[in-house]
Amino acid sequence: MSRKRWLALIAAAMLVVASVAFNAASVVISSNFESVFGAGEHEWTEHIVEYGDELTGKIALLEINGTIQDTGDNPSFFETEGYRHRLFLSQLDHVAQDASVEGIIIRVNTPGGGVVESAEIYDKIIEAKKEYEKPIFVSMGSLAASGGYYISAPADKIVATPQTITGSLGVIMESINVAELAEKYGVKFDTIKSGPYKDMMSPTREMTEGERAILQSLIDESYEEFVRIIAEGRQMSEQEVRRLADGRIYSGLQAKELNLVDELGNLDDTIELMKEHVGDYNVVRFESNLGLNSLFAMSVQRIFSSDHELMNLQKLISEHRAPTLKYLYTQ
């Protein structure tokens, strides 16, 4: 191993130790800060991005940026400022129940993510529509694929730019097999397990046909649910959805021709469509508050952003590596 790689590994280890220490300290500091200055009711602030003529009411603008995954309420400083699952769900709950919110726009810019997390967002959207009777429009950004489309399907209107990458309708589960690499370097693995399938998708050996059949059944179940969601949301037959849901990606223009989106346009166009639908209200964006941990994370990212090896190590350390079912577009 080169000297540079050794230094990178040492630096990554030091960052892990520093992360643990800082997270513990930030909890104490934040608690003291809140006891002295008081804590806000929510983890976000409301910011008016466009004024309307109506004196009462508002249009809520929520954003999904990044992979849809639940990394916990207190992400470490390794994580970039991006999607926070529990925070988004609480925002969606809040705007659904807020009587002053006349309509909800969700800006979707994601390759998708976990099956469970995507389903949780879907359920909240359905609740907002049916229980609280809030119209929901989706504005697709540059990427709204797989789970990004799953959560968009129940919207009252989907708007995408002609260049938006969407589609990738399907389910994926991945693992890495390092058995040959380990054998090359003389690394051996000993596994003690309670049953023949306890170490399915182990990176240390080839998958058996029986294991593959079990995992394929899980994939098929989630795929059937994906097809149902699209068929109901887009009022399409399941046969038509299956024809489109073979994993391929579509441009926004192609998606419009296939009835996967309703209109072509950007976020401003989506706002205008919502105003035509509910009235000319103020548009309010919900932005997360920056805590001490987030500020420290930004500093760490600036320090190491120029070193690609360290950034890759950072990603490996911070990501959850266990195989899971995903509605995810992978490149």
pLDDT tens figures, 248-270 = 999 999 999 999 999 999 999 99
pLDDT computed for residue 290 by the predictor? 55
pTM (2 d.p.): 0.80
Residue 14 has pLDDT above 70, yes or no: no
pLDDT computed for residue 73 by the predictor? 59
Residue 185 has pLDDT above 60, yes or no: yes
Residue 130 annotated in active site: no
**Largest pairwise CA distance in the chain:** 73
> Which residue did the predictor score with more confidence, 8 or 94?
94
Average pLDDT over residues 123-145: 98
Average pLDDT over residues 280-302: 68
> Confidence band (pLDDT; 50, 70, 90) for 233?
very high
pLDDT computed for residue 308 by the predictor? 55
pLDDT computed for residue 15 by the predictor? 59
> Which residue did the predictor score with more confidence, 163 or 42?
163
Residue extents of the structural domains in the chain: 3-328
Query: What percent of the chain stands above pLDDT 90?
Result: 63
Most confidently modeled range among 176-190, 273-287, 297-311 = 273-287
- Write the DSSP string, 18-70: HHHHHHHHHHHHHHHHHHHH---SSSEEEEEEE--S-SS-EEEEEEEES-B--
Catalytic position from the list 4, 193, 198, 315? 198
Q: What is the chain's mean pLDDT, rounded?
A: 84
Catalytic position from the list 118, 139, 146, 202? 146
**CA R_g for the chain:** 22
**β 101-110/58-65 pair status:** parallel
Residue 165 has pLDDT above 50, yes or no: yes
Residue 177 has pLDDT above 80, yes or no: yes
Residue 2 has pLDDT above 90, yes or no: no
Residue 198 annotated in active site: yes
pLDDT computed for residue 77 by the predictor? 46
Nearest-angstrom CA–CA distance, 329 and 184: 32
**Under CATH, which number does the domain 3-328 receive?**
3.90.226.10
